[in-house]
């Protein structure tokens, strides 16, 4: 029996404090913890951890959508992709002033490097702010 390859990915992006985002995509770029990777229709089955970054979806209608995500997992199974993440913000949902302020605070903490500064926490805050700003600016990988 020959399996016919679909030309569309059914994508579901899930985060605890939002309704799932469902879309049809021809390509999905994800921030894997071992590096950025692309999923196309017909991709092999895969389970990957994600890092903080940008999910970029090339939708079948020609539109490109961007989402800032904060870690999680991606499951690719046949032509379906499920992304489970702690937070997800679409480009139109990003508060640019707040993200810029968070970036500045995190950079300042990393420069100070005092005894009372949690460097891991400051680095994580910087990565989240940068992902949000990249999403708003439609900057992918």
Domain boundaries, the chain: 9-91, 93-136
Phi, psi for residue 130 in degrees, rounded to 5: -65, -40
pLDDT in tens, 83-139: 999 999 999 999 999 999 999 999 998 998 777 778 889 999 999 999 999 999 998
pLDDT at residue number 5: 53
Instruction: Determine the 3-state secondary structure of 95 from DSSP.
Output: coil
Enter the CATH code of domain 93-136.
1.20.5.440
Matching residue, tokens 């605890």: 16
pTM of the model: 0.89
Could you say which of 2.40.240.10, 3.30.2180.10, 1.10.3720.10, 2.60.15.10 is the CATH number of the domain covering 9-91? Answer: 2.60.15.10
């Amino acid at each position: 029996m020959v399996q016919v390859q679909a030309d569309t990915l059914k994508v579901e992006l899930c985060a605890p404090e939002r309704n799932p985002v469902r879309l049809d995509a021809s390509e999905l770029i994800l921030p894997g913890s071992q590096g950025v990777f692309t999923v196309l229709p017909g991709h092999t089955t895969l389970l990957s951890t994600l890092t903080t970054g940008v999910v970029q979806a090339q939708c079948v209608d020609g539109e490109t959508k961007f989402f800032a995500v904060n870690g999680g997992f991606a499951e690719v199974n046949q032509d379906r992709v499920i992304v489970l993440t702690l937070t997800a913000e679409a480009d139109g949902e990003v508060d640019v002033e707040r993200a810029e302020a968070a970036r500045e605070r995190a950079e300042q903490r990393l420069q100070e490097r005092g005894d009372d500064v949690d460097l891991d926490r400051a680095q994580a805050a910087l990565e989240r702010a940068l992902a949000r700003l990249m999403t708003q600016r439609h900057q992918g990988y």
